[in-house]
Amino acid sequence: MLERLLYRSRASHDFGSLHLFKLLTEARLRNEKLLVTGHLLYFDGCFTQCIEGPSESIDLLWRVLSTDPRHHDIELLARHEISVRRFAQWSMAFSTYSSLYVHGMEGFFPVDDDGQSPLVRICLAD
């Protein structure tokens, strides 16, 4: 069964571009193995992440995410079965401030002043 999970959390510290790049690079490698796709937003000290993939992968990832000290106040917003992925082409697309762009980073989407990007809108759509 395929599932999508959406949560919001508060970053434990201010993330700079290199920290984010490292986090994303590791996440993408692991997600490829887990057949997980999705989108991560970092804006105003908070993460909002959508992960989609096989239930076993979502279970596993949710367990490690829940204990990752890099964020806290983790709030599950939604989890349900899906038939179609929203981010099929991204092992983890990423939206944040354009100032945090690292040259060559793929799947990067700059946010506007309200923390919106085309992918954020897809992520948060009902």
Ligand X SMILES: Cc1cc2nc3c(=O)[nH]c(=O)nc-3n(C[C@H](O)[C@H](O)[C@H](O)COP(=O)(O)O)c2cc1C
Cβ 91 vs Cβ 30: under 8 Å: no
Cα torsion through 117, 38, 96, 21, rounded to 10: -150
Residue 65 makes contact with ligand X by CB under 6 A: yes
Residue 41 makes contact with ligand X by CB under 6 A: no
Residue 49 makes contact with ligand X by CB under 6 A: yes
At 18, which amino acid appears?
L
Q: Candidates 46-54, 78-86, 97-105, 108-116 — which segment interacts with ligand X by CB under 6 A?
A: 46-54
Tokens standing for 100? 């945090």
Residue 70 makes contact with ligand X by CB under 6 A: yes
For 78, counting Cβ atoms within 10 Å of its Cβ (0-12 exposed, 13-18 middle, 19+ buried), the class is exposed
Dist. CA 107–CA 9, nearest whole Å: 21
Query: Binder to ligand X among 41, 92, 119, 120 (CB under 6 A)?
Result: 92
Query: Binder to ligand X among 4, 48, 57, 71 (CB under 6 A)?
Result: 71
Contacts with ligand X by CB under 6 A lie at 23, 27, 30-31, 40, 47, 49, 51, 61, 64-65, 68, 70-71, 92
